[in-house]
Amino acid sequence: MAHESISVFDMFKIGVGPSSSHTLGPWRAALRCIESIQEKTNLEEVVTVTVLLYGSLAKTGKGHGTDIAVILGLCGEDPVTIDVNSITPKINAITQESKLHLNGEKWIDFPVATQVQFLYNETLAFHPNGLSFLVSLKNGEHFCETYFSVGGGFVVKEGESNGGKAVIDLPFPINTADDLLHWCMKTGMAIHEVVMENESAWRAEPETKNGVLQIWKSMRDCTYRGSHAQGELPGGLQVRRRAFDLNKRLINHQSYPDYEGWIESIRKGGNGFKYTLDWVSCFALAVNEENASFGRVVTAPTNGAAGVIPAVLQYYIVFCDGNSDEKIIRFLLTASEIGSIFKKGATISAAMGGCQAEIGVSSAMAAAALTECMGGTQRQALMAAEIAMEHHLGLTCDPIGGLVQIPCIERNTMGAIKAITASQLALQSSPDYAIVSLDKVIKTMWDTALDMNSKYKETADGGLAIHIPLSLPEC
């Protein structure tokens, strides 16, 4: 089997919601298209750029902001650094003026209704999330760039085999859970230690640690921001934010100046089961309400599942004495490796595998990470990941109105709770007696994905998406 080198920073990407495959991926594809144009010619030679959205990108693209993402990408905006409050004014200006500032360098005519086309009945063979950029030049020549958003913000250009990345030889190549366990047993290292050794093939260890802490900072800020934001989510479903009211009720009118003060206030409430459960739900709701509002989130491993890992990590920090940089780094490194194994052996794209590929994978990642951080063995960590995914198998993706709101936001709370439960089960069990391995459940997940009807794969053509009237105010 060919080895695919996936870094922690491939699995965890800072970006803008609401979807990694339908927002961040197309945004990155547009940025790559700009690079390709510059390699072929000068931007000054460009007359028009037309974007064609296929398959799932077309069917749920409006709800996921795919058109907004590709427009901002063509403008050269960076999803990591853009001021999210500037997105709506920028898009409104482009729509009203029918002009786009290509990479911030060249103005071109861009009537949005004709330059971004939703091809609802056409799907490209390689992947349901396909998009093409048709570029016309002053000399009359034309060329086409086609990309596929394959989940988690990963983008593959047509004809590429590795997403355009350089091949890196890792000291511990890993494609499967068995590979990971082999290296752990051979070296005596924990999962996060094996991952750190591999990361050192890309960069120095201090750089990796600083980068992982930046990932956590984005998760932390998103959780805090979402827990203190009121109002209604955009998109027309009239879904009201719930994290704010839940936080206010649980915090019992305590005041605090910042995140650290918030954490201390939460701890004062104790660690009763119901109280802890409510807080895990609050953390997950907060992140995905931010995600649904075009806020800044971290793909973990996707935007639709962005709340699971932050919620479980926040649980570990608040209720399990996990509030140290080293413990947080350990958690995220372990989680990233489990996610990469799922990506290699199955998929992390709901358009390919349904919601089992998003919430299921994120729950497995969080379960393994929590287990290792709570003192579990490498085999117990893998067992926890298996348990979490086993009980997400077959989960469909059926977003109402094509929006990452119903049932997506609540599903993040379910994924977080299942991760904690899976971890507890694994910590109290012996892997020697486990019948189902992580590799077997990954294979089963992929088989299920292949058998799943396409209407349950992020198309909004089945399930809740066709049975719930769009006028309903609550999920």
Final residue belonging to a domain, choices 100, 122, 157: 157
Listed residue (219, 221, 225, 227) closest to 249, CA to CA: 227
**Domain contains 166:** no
Output phi, psi for 145, to 5 deg.
-120, 125
Ranges of H-type helices in 228-272? 243-251, 259-267
Average pLDDT value for the chain: 94
* Residue 222 and residue 132 in one domain: no
Listed residue (79, 89, 80) closest to 30, CA to CA: 79
Listed residue (287, 278, 305, 302) closest to 241, CA to CA: 287
Give the confidence band of 152 by pLDDT, cuts at 50, 70, 90.
Answer: confident
Q: Which pLDDT score, from 0 to 100, does residue 425 have?
A: 98
**Domain contains 309:** yes
* Residue 325 and residue 385 in one domain: yes
| Residue-wise DSSP of 4-50 | ----HHHHSEEEESS-IIIIIHHHHHHHHHHHHHHHHS-GGGEEEEE
Final residue belonging to a domain, choices 102, 125, 157: 157
The answer to whether 453 and 462 are in contact (CB under 8 A) is yes
Give the confidence band of 151 by pLDDT, cuts at 50, 70, 90.
Answer: confident
The answer to whether 258 and 249 are in contact (CB under 8 A) is no
Domain that holds residue 382: 177-467
Please tell me whether the peptide bond between 407 and the residue prior to it is cis, using omega within 30 degrees of 0: yes
In degrees, rounded to 5, the angle at the alpha carbon of residue 296 between the alpha carbons of residues 408 and 445 is 40
**Domain contains 438:** yes
Q: What is the mean pLDDT of residues 236-241?
A: 92
Adjacent-strand bridge partners of 71: none
Q: Which pLDDT score, from 0 to 100, does residue 3 have?
A: 66
Query: Residue 345: pLDDT above 50?
Result: yes
* Residue 33 and residue 82 in one domain: yes
**Domain contains 170:** no
**Domain contains 188:** yes
Token pair in block for residue 270 = 């104790």
**Domain contains 261:** yes
Token pair in block for residue 161 = 């085999």
Token pair in block for residue 214 = 């930046």
**Domain contains 95:** yes
Adjacent-strand bridge partners of 416: none
Mention every residue, 6+ apart, whose C-beta is less than 8 A from residue 353: 346, 347, 445, 446, 448, 449, 452, 457
Query: Residue 164: pLDDT above 60?
Result: no
* Residue 153 and residue 185 in one domain: no
Q: To the nearest whole percent, how much of the chain has pLDDT over 70?
A: 97
Q: What's the CA gap between 334 and 362, in Å, rounded?
A: 12
Q: To the nearest whole percent, how much of the chain has pLDDT over 90?
A: 87
Give the confidence band of 133 by pLDDT, cuts at 50, 70, 90.
Answer: very high
Mention every residue, 6+ apart, whose C-beta is less than 8 A from residue 214: 14
Residue type present at position 28: R
The answer to whether 127 and 53 are in contact (CB under 8 A) is no
Query: Residue 263: pLDDT above 50?
Result: yes
* Residue 324 and residue 412 in one domain: yes
* Residue 322 and residue 442 in one domain: yes
**Look-up of token digits 């413990």:** 327
Q: Which pLDDT score, from 0 to 100, does residue 167 have?
A: 73
Q: What's the CA gap between 461 and 399, in Å, rounded?
A: 9
Query: Residue 1: pLDDT above 60?
Result: no
The secondary element (H helix, E strand) that includes residue 382 is helix 378-390
* Residue 182 and residue 133 in one domain: no
* Residue 136 and residue 186 in one domain: no
The count of other CB atoms within 10 Å of the CB of residue 78 is: 14
Query: Residue 475: pLDDT above 50?
Result: no
**Domain contains 1:** no
Q: What is the pLDDT of residues 63-85, one digit of tens each?
A: 889 999 999 999 999 999 999 99
Please tell me whether the peptide bond between 89 and the residue prior to it is cis, using omega within 30 degrees of 0: no
Give the confidence band of 163 by pLDDT, cuts at 50, 70, 90.
Answer: low
* Residue 207 and residue 118 in one domain: no
SS3 per-residue string spanning 428-460: CCCHHHCCCCHHHHHHHHHHHHHHCCHHHECCC
In degrees, rounded to 5, the angle at the alpha carbon of residue 130 between the alpha carbons of residues 127 and 135 is 145
Q: Look up the CATH number of the domain holding residue 74.
A: 3.30.1330.90
The secondary element (H helix, E strand) that includes residue 151 is strand 142-151
The count of other CB atoms within 10 Å of the CB of residue 250 is: 17
Q: What is the pLDDT of residues 357-413, one digit of tens each?
A: 999 999 999 999 999 999 999 999 999 999 999 999 999 999 998 899 999 999 999
Q: Which pLDDT score, from 0 to 100, does residue 51 have?
A: 97
* Residue 282 and residue 360 in one domain: yes
Tell me the Cα Rg of the chain. Answer: 22
Residue type present at position 132: S
Q: What's the CA gap between 387 and 70, in Å, rounded?
A: 38
Q: What is the pLDDT of residues 176-207, one digit of tens each?
A: 999 999 999 999 999 999 999 999 999 999 99
Distances from the Cα of 6 to the Cα of 35, 38, 279, 386, 443, angstroms: 23, 27, 32, 20, 19
* Residue 199 and residue 135 in one domain: no
Final residue belonging to a domain, choices 104, 123, 157: 157
* Residue 218 and residue 307 in one domain: yes
Q: Which pLDDT score, from 0 to 100, does residue 473 have?
A: 39
Please tell me whether the peptide bond between 128 and the residue prior to it is cis, using omega within 30 degrees of 0: no
Q: Which pLDDT score, from 0 to 100, does residue 161 have?
A: 67
3-class SS at 297?
strand
Q: What's the CA gap between 289 and 412, in Å, rounded?
A: 11
Number of domains present in the structure of the chain: 2
Residue type present at position 367: A
Q: What's the CA gap between 277 and 344, in Å, rounded?
A: 32
Q: What is the mean pLDDT of residues 458-475?
A: 74
